[in-house]
Amino acid sequence: MSRSLDDTRRHVQVLPERIGAVAGSEFPGHYPGEDHSWNLQKFKENLITSVQRLTPSTVEFDLVGVDASIANALRRVMIAEVPTIAIEEIYVWNNTSIMQDEVLCHRVGLVPLKIDPRSLKYRPSPHSAPHETDTIVFDLSVRCDRKPGVDKSEKDPKKLYYDSNVFTGMMKWSPSGDQSKKYKGKNPKPVDKDILLCKLRPGQQIDLHCFARKGVGMDHAKFSPVATASYRLLPHIILREPIPIEHQEKFKNCFPEGVVEIENDQVVIKNPRKDTVSREVLRHPEFSDKVSLNRIRDHFIFNVESTGQYNPEELVPEAIKILLNKITAVEEGLDKLFATEGQVA
Amino acid sequence: MSDEAPQQSTSKLDNAGTLLQSVSTSMTHEKVSILPGHEPDYSACTFCLWQEDHTLGNALRWIIMKDPDVEFCGYTAPHPSEPKIHLRIQMYDGLSAVDCLRKALSNLRDLFTTVDKSYKHSLNNDNYIREQDVDVRAAVDETLRQRGFPVEGDEEGMDLS
């Protein structure tokens, strides 16, 4: 079973002016007579992963029983190392819009694309020629024209002109090689079709030839598969003494709705998860000795919002896969080092 | 075909590292090296892990510190424009820091595999809230209507373009 929330070793103290007991202390040799060496069996018993909420774009889950370094590794990998496909190179055949080529290309590069990143490879080097296994091509070709027979007093550009707004939905995938078979039923397209890229007036046109490649967020944020990936620690409110009846309403109002309730003239901590840990309660002298605010050091509440390339629930397993690859890479590096070490040393 | 980038030993994986290799030089780096000044029996040494950062560095540091045979472990990212970390391990009783690192890597793998299994189990079996996303456009339109502003689509003559 998991450990009690009242275990003070798990508490990060939220004090009026500072945070206390930030670092964990459960390392071998810290507590005499206690064994804190790595133990997979114990870890399995203490670990709780529980999904709380899932929507088409976000997943919220609790990760309990791991160190901050592990939770942080997951978060960092989701932001910077889970790959996605984004437009990386653009040939501008024609651009007579008021937006400069480089600005327009930058905007087009940021568009999230609905392509399974697992279906493409990284290109072997930055110089290598595009190949159907590592590149997806889009064309964006739009021309604005005046609509015939519109009333002279009309001011609305939508009624006056054809294609005065260029949207991401106008980007056309042009399959090469086996791609049309490979992506049958799930054609590459932008995640959202209604992102405004540029505005045109009669006679102006845009003609772009775009190359989408696989990349990672550490190279450019457009490759990041998450809009947000963050965690917070579970708040834990401890009542040291009962709150006198005349102050109960004020006490309740120190917290967000639903955190504290009054039941049978007693103050009850109902849902600490909803607390923002604003420390408002510590500002009042009548409460400051009666309550202590804490967070649980190993209880992480993750919130991950996908930008659409992955389903949100897939991001954590993908991040773990990448972390395992990193571990393998270091192991192979060690093997290689000691295979040659005989000659070096 | 055109010039291929020097392949890393791990490039049988579909490896993001190829993207980040320096374009201007053909210099390749070993994934792992041991910095000069290590003990001859490897009981204390500093490893240099190329193309790693705090993601793996801090997790490794934590799990190595969980080993009772370790006297000291710490890591640093020496310079932000060099994609590498230095990982220092000192052992008690002349034990090998290399073995310790190998053991830590395998423990870390167990840890992440456990988390992965546990997460997938929860995803498939738990009873959690499933709902639709907030329709931001509808919410904005509603606020505009309440404040008495015209909303696109409600009536003629209003257009945001």
- Please identify among residues 25-54 of chain B the ones whose CB lies closer than 8 Å to any CB of chain A: 30-34, 49-50, 52-54
Cα–Cα distance measured from residue A262 to residue A286, given in angstroms and rounded to the nearest whole number: 17
Ordered by where they begin, the domains of chain A are 8-81+227-240+290-305 (3.30.1360.10), 84-223 (2.170.120.12)
Please report residues of A whose CB lies closer than 8 A to that of B32.
330, 333-334, 336-337
pLDDT for A17-59, tens place per residue?
999 999 989 999 999 999 999 999 999 999 999 999 999 999 9
Number of H helices, E strands in chain A: 8, 18
Distances (CA, A) of A104 to A56, A58, A200, A307: 30, 29, 12, 21
In this predicted structure, the answer to whether residue B20 has a pLDDT above a threshold of 90 is no
Ordered by where they begin, the domains of chain B are 26-125 (3.30.1360.10)
CB pairs under 8 A between A and B: 200
Under an 8 A CB cutoff, do B31 and A327 touch?
no
pLDDT for A121-165, tens place per residue?
999 888 889 999 999 999 999 999 999 989 989 988 989 999 999
Please report residues of A whose CB lies closer than 8 A to that of B66.
27-28, 36-38
pLDDT for A206-236, tens place per residue?
999 999 999 999 999 999 999 999 999 999 9
Please report residues of A whose CB lies closer than 8 A to that of B131.
53-55
- As beta bridge partners, residue A301 has A62, A232
- As beta bridge partners, residue A226 has A306
Cα–Cα distance measured from residue B131 to residue A185, given in angstroms and rounded to the nearest whole number: 26
Q: By the 8 A CB rule, do A137 and A174 touch?
A: yes
pLDDT of the residue at B155 = 62
Please report residues of B whose CB lies closer than 8 A to that of A58.
133
Beta-strand pair A291-306/A145-146: unpaired
ipTM metric: 0.90
Residue type, A93: W
pLDDT for B29-57, tens place per residue?
889 999 999 999 999 999 999 999 999 99
A117 C-beta neighbours (distance < 10 Å), count = 19
> DSSP states of A188-210 as a string?
-EES-S--EEEE--TT-EEEEEE
Closest residue to A124, CB basis, from B18, B102, B121? B18
Residue tagged 């709705």 (tokens): A257
What mean pLDDT comes out for the span A93-116? Answer: 96
Under an 8 A CB cutoff, do B116 and A52 touch?
no
Cα–Cα distance measured from residue A337 to residue B125, given in angstroms and rounded to the nearest whole number: 44
Cα–Cα distance measured from residue A76 to residue A326, given in angstroms and rounded to the nearest whole number: 13
pLDDT of the residue at A178 = 92
Q: By the 8 A CB rule, do B63 and A40 touch?
A: no
Under an 8 A CB cutoff, do A81 and B16 touch?
yes
pLDDT for A289-318, tens place per residue?
999 999 999 999 999 999 999 999 999 999
Minimal Cα–Cα distance from A122 to chain B, Å?
7
A55 C-beta neighbours (distance < 10 Å), count = 16
Residue B156 — pLDDT band, cuts 50, 70, 90? Answer: low
pLDDT of the residue at A103 = 97
- Residue A75 sits at φ, ψ, to 5 deg, of -60, -45
Higher pLDDT, B88 or A155: B88
pLDDT for B96-147, tens place per residue?
999 999 999 999 999 999 999 999 999 999 999 999 998 888 999 999 999 9
B113 C-beta neighbours (distance < 10 Å), count = 13
pTM of the model: 0.88
Question: Dihedral of CA A220/A323/B8/A120: which sign?
Answer: negative
pLDDT of the residue at B22 = 47
Q: By the 8 A CB rule, do A85 and B161 touch?
A: no
- Please state, rounded to an integer, the average pLDDT across all residues of chain A: 93
pLDDT for A252-288, tens place per residue?
999 999 999 999 999 999 999 999 999 999 999 999 8
Minimal Cα–Cα distance from A249 to chain B, Å?
31
Return the residue in A36, A42, A334, A335 with the most chain B beta carbons within 10 A, the one to mutate for interface testing: A334
Cα–Cα distance measured from residue A116 to residue A138, given in angstroms and rounded to the nearest whole number: 16
pLDDT of the residue at B5 = 43
